[in-house]
Amino acid sequence: MMPPVQRPQMGLLSEMNRNKLKAELAYDYLRDAVITMRLEPDSTVAEKDLCAELGISRTPLREAVLRLAQEGLLTVVPGGGTYVNRISMRGVLQGHLVRSSIELRLIRLAAEGYSPVYDKDFKLLLYMQQDADERGDFDQALRVDIDFNRLLCRMAGFPDIWQTVHGATGQLDRVRYRAMAKCGMTQEIEMEHRRLFEALKARDAERAHALLRKHLDDLPLLIAFVKDSTPNVVVPGEDIDPQRILNALC
């Protein structure tokens, strides 16, 4: 007689894993809503409605909210609700410092160790980016841009470090998203990524590094565009010179 089939245990550990997955879903959904301004600055986060919309309980949603609060995108007022923060230029520059410091080092590793196994990934991302540009789909354009950066970390041999970059660049991503409304910017990003791909395929670390630095150094223009076009979404009174920060990185 065969022994009975052992069914998987559905105890505390399984419940924790389910909550973790739900918290990650809520985090991605909320972060995307804040970045793309579907949740506008100064607006209230309706947690009860979000729980119903995502089909999750309050516990994983609160975990996602607290994570986004730590990243400077939300403010939680005990007993007073949760609110979407305005764009902080100090937060934008902080994210840029983290991203540039890490990626400008990883790009050399990615070029030196480039493998044709990544060709398919790059070509798919470039196709999706071109499609987003042609349709004027800024949401997809930003998501592809983020996936491009994630791929660079994986190519360099440090895939987990992307989460550090991602967690630090929420405010930066908001500026980049708003600035994509500028005529031709999505096409410009696509062309820069194509040149970077060619440099990586050629294992030309110096050229890849120079191209990425140029790609990152447009920040002052993006900040000026957002501050001039939508000043109401920016934290007032932050006297910061982005060009001085960029010069310090040279």
Task: Spell out a b/e string for 154-172, using b for 16 or more CB atoms within 10 Å of the CB, else e.
Answer: bbbebeebbeebbebbbbb
Whether 220 contacts 246, CB under 8 Å: yes
Q: Rounded to a whole number, what is the distance in angstroms from the first to the last CA of the chain? A: 74
pLDDT at 241 over 80: no
Residue whose C-alpha is closest to residue 102's, from 219, 25, 212: 212
Q: What is the pLDDT of residues 213-226, one digit of tens each?
A: 988 888 888 888 88
How much is the pLDDT for 9? Answer: 43
Work out the widest C-alpha separation in the chain, in whole angstroms. Answer: 78
Three-state DSSP state, 44 = strand
Rg of the Cα trace of the chain? 20
Measured in degrees and rounded to the nearest 5, phi and psi for residue 82 equal: -120, 135
Residues of the chain above pLDDT 90, percent: 68
Q: What is the pLDDT of residues 171-188, one digit of tens each?
A: 999 999 998 877 678 888
For the chain, residues classed under CATH 1.20.120.530 are 89-249
For the chain, residues classed under CATH 1.10.10.10 are 12-84
How much is the pLDDT for 182? Answer: 74
**Superfamily per CATH, domain 89-249:** GntR ligand-binding domain-like (1.20.120.530)
Q: What is the pLDDT of residues 77-114, one digit of tens each?
A: 988 899 999 999 999 999 999 999 999 999 999 999 99
Fold topology of 12-84:
Arc Repressor Mutant, subunit A (1.10.10)
Structure tokens at 106: 């990883």
pLDDT at 14 over 70: no
